[in-house]
Amino acid sequence: MALRLLSLALMLVAWYVGAQVAGPRMLPDPQSVALMVVSEAQSGALAFNLGATLLRVAVAFFLAMALGSIMGLLMGRYQVADWLGDPWLVVLLNLPALVIIVLAYVWAGLTETAAIAAVALNKLPIATVTVREGARSLDRGLDDMAQVFRMGAWVRMRHVVLPQLAPYLAAAGRSGLSLVWKIVLIVELLGRPNGVGFEIGTAFQLFDVTRILAYALAFVAVMLVIETFLVQPIERHVTRWRPRTA
């Protein structure tokens, strides 16, 4: 913990020194960025834009994770589903994020639906591939056990299958959350009238580096809070059965 704080302090020092060298136009010092965060917070703009972005992140993330988990599970367990789904997956995986976003806006207009669909589509194939890997490595022995003891479909899913998928779901969720929020910013930059991405786009046109840093750091702070108070406790709960290494 002490080392982490030390490392963080070093980062701030480096930033401060860099600001002195580069000048306030290229890299404003930490103090002026902090002041910008406070003034944006006071006007209510910060909360409004953070909220808008967070909502998009949440909806796109859950859509992509839910669909990706279902598809991954089907493709991992049934060969036919894998054959059918794999070409789509390869196409989606290799389509640049920007192409998906632009096409979504062209086809569905500059709407909220298009924005969220574009983000979800970008995340979907990665979630699917990760969960498929998990579904392929499901323990056949436990499957047989569940069948012999005639466990119902829900019991099997909840107590036999999902716990085995948990590490894969966690991996997909972890990488997914950071990916989704980065793509949400691009989507906002290109076609939404609010959100962190929109603010950064405006600041870019005005060459306002202070504002760019203020919004970016504020959002990173929000994601850190989510990681610490939501993701990590869930992970601890899911892995409680593992013998602790001393």
Partner 1 sequence: MSPVGDLGRLEVSVKHKAFSAATGGTLRVIDGLTFSLGRGEVGALVGPSGCGKTTLLRIIAGLDPDYEGSVGLPDHGRLGMVFQEPRLLPWRTLEQNVRLAAPNATDADLDALFAALGLSAHRHHYPGELSLGLARRVALARAFAVHPDLLLLDEPFVSLDDALALRLRDELAELVTRRPVTTLLVTHNVEEAIALADRLFLLSPSPARVIAEVPIERPRSPRSPEELAALRGAIARKLKGA
Interacting residues toward partner 1 by CB under 8 A: 141-142, 144-145, 147-151, 155, 159-160, 163, 241-243
Distances (CA, A) of 32 to 16, 20, 21, 212: 11, 13, 16, 12
Nearer to partner 1, 54 or 146 (CB): 146
Nearest distance, CB of residue 171 and partner 1, angstroms: 17
- The structure tokens listed for 191 are 């076609």
In order, the DSSP letters of 208-224 are -HHHHHHHHHHHHHHHH
Question: Which residue, 141 or 193, has its beta carbon nearer to partner 1?
Answer: 141
Nearer to partner 1, 167 or 201 (CB): 167
Minimum distance of partner 1 from residue 5's CB (angstroms): 35
Taking the C-alpha atoms of residue 197 and residue 71, their distance in angstroms, rounded to an integer, is 30
Query: What's the min distance (Å) between Cβ of 168 and partner 1?
Result: 14
Q: How far is the CB of 146 from partner 1 (least distance, A)?
A: 8
CA atoms of 101 and 187, how far apart (whole Å): 7
Alpha-carbon separation of residue 40 from 12, 37, 104, 215 (angstroms): 21, 5, 31, 9
Contact 184, 121 (CB under 8 A): no
Least distance from partner 1 to the Cβ atom of residue 245, Å: 12
Residue 43, Cα to own-chain centre: how many angstroms?
28
- Closer by beta carbon to partner 1, 18 or else 163: 163
